[in-house]
Amino acid sequence: MKHISLIIHTKHMYTLQGSGVGYEFGKTLAIDGSKIVAIGNSDDILSEYTAYKIIDATDKLVLPGFIDGHMHTGHGVLRGVAQDINNWMHEGMAPFETVRSSQAKTAGSELAIAEAVLNGTTTIGDDGSDMLGALQFIDKIGVRGNVSVRVRSALIKTYKDGELYVFDENYAKKTLDEALALFNQFHNKDGERIKIRFGPQGADFLDLELLEKVKRLAQERKTKIHMHLAQGIRESKQMLLRYQRRTIPMLDEMGYFDKDFIGIHLTDATDEEVQVVAKRNISMILCSNSIGLINGQVPPAVEFIKNAGVVGLGSDQAPGNNCHNMFAEMKSTAVFNKIKYSSSTIMPAWQTLRMATIDCAKALGIDSLTGSLEEGKSADIIFVDLNTPSMCPVYTTPMRNIIPNLVYSARGNEVNTVIANGKIIVENRVPLTFELQEILANAQGYADQIGVKAAKVFNEINGMNARYMKEGKL
């Protein structure tokens, strides 16, 4: 008999194999190191393998870990400062972001990643600048990372609505140098557990020379471009002011779109533009809660899928979304699109579950590694406690109600165990590879400093939240 790392006995399991959700009843998983080596009947597995650890998960729902396709974890330390306002980036974020230190950003990343993991996310799709701290934390705790390092020409400052961004050649070089350095340090680390992508922030934030250079470098290094695309009216205004073109037509003429391009949001894309990029085989990441809160809009994911595009889900950032919780993203994606199209059958629960697992893996180009439970794939697995009010009762006849309950009722605290790359990260709701209380205290300490430093500009701008404070509404 072969001695392996882990055996998991299940009752209800969704593998996400095939075109549906891959339901399996009463199967056993065999895991050796980071990989799933067998899925089969318990007797067959136990006749072939012994294990260091055997887990009875028959009172749990077993499924692939969630994949968060787009996050700005460094914003975790700014949670809740920019909701319910217009001009989200410049009125809401800027007073706080411009005084946030590198150390505070890392504290935010640790907070956001810890939150996501406790809610069942095993792949962190991070995006931003000054990413070393986030990457070190991802590496340390053992989760999977699909990390986009930001490149931009536009200086970070408080811009007025409609003011053209200030491009700076030295700043652009600094951001590109960071992307290249982190690519060299982390890309494909630990058996491809960590992937580094190039992240031009958006076409409005880069000059044409830098846009072309990033594309060339990504091709040379055989990695992907992860980029905000037609993310809102603000972007379109900047593009028309600077280039007299909308984003998608201009980038299409530049030959920017292909299977290695991951487009984020597409909020301001027309139906015709969506059709163009879908036919170029790009992928789309949909952040329903963030765009709903920031813009009051529902991005065109249905149109993208209709044109054979692949869509994954992301949580974006805490100052816009307020949480990193894929349960919330699945439910909002289903509900928002049902309302938008006045149809109860649009975006069924099973489809949004796929968008948080295997379809997101396909969108990010990591579906050979994760996204479903299959022999040879990484053991990225979560257990959801079925003995909770939100998941109870369980029907199996004449239909199974487990996925509707998972998407429309569960909130995240039902996640009992999180396994990433074969390593148990959370067990019985207790994190094993990070100290949660230390992370919370650290984030609060930096938030106290940021608030004091941001106060002057916050009050000078006198945006919606400043007025709410004066009116006693916050």
Domain layout of the chain by residue ranges: 2-64+372-431, 66-364
Phi, psi of 402 (to 5 degrees): -65, -45
For the stretch 398-424, what's the b/e string if a residue is b when 16 or more beta carbons lie within 10 angstroms of its beta carbon? eebebbebbbbbbebebbbbbbbbbbb
Residue with tokens 């580094």: 196
Neighbour-count burial of 167, counting CB atoms closer than 10 A to its CB (0-12 exposed, 13-18 middle, 19+ buried)? middle
> One-letter amino acid identity for 284?
M
| Cα–Cα distances in angstroms (integers) from residue 106 to residues 75, 186, 318, 325, in the given order | 9, 17, 14, 19
φ/ψ (deg, to 5) at 426: -135, 135
Please name the amino acid found at residue 231. Answer: Q
- Rounded to the nearest 10 degrees, what angle do helices 132-141 and 102-118 cross at? 30
Instruction: Please check whether residue 239 is in contact with residue 231, taking contact to mean a CB–CB distance below 8 angstroms.
Output: no
* CATH architecture of structural domain 2-64+372-431: Roll (2.30)
Domain at 66-364: CATH code: 3.20.20.140
Extract the residue ranges of the chain whose pLDDT is less than 50.
Answer: none
Residue type, 185: Q
At 151, the amino acid letter reads V
CA pair distance 171, 272, nearest whole angstrom: 35
Q: Hey, what are 389's tokens? A: 């009010």
Can you tell me the distance from the alpha carbon of 174 to that of 180, in angstroms, rounded to the nearest whole number? Answer: 10
Q: What angle do CA 451, 71, 445 make, to 5 degrees?
A: 25
User: Considering Cα of 383, then 388, then 391, then 397, what sign does the dihedral take?
Assistant: positive
Residue with the two structure tokens 């139906």: 271
Instruction: Count other Cβ atoms within 10 Å, centred on residue 390.
Output: 17
Q: What's 157's DSSP letter?
A: S
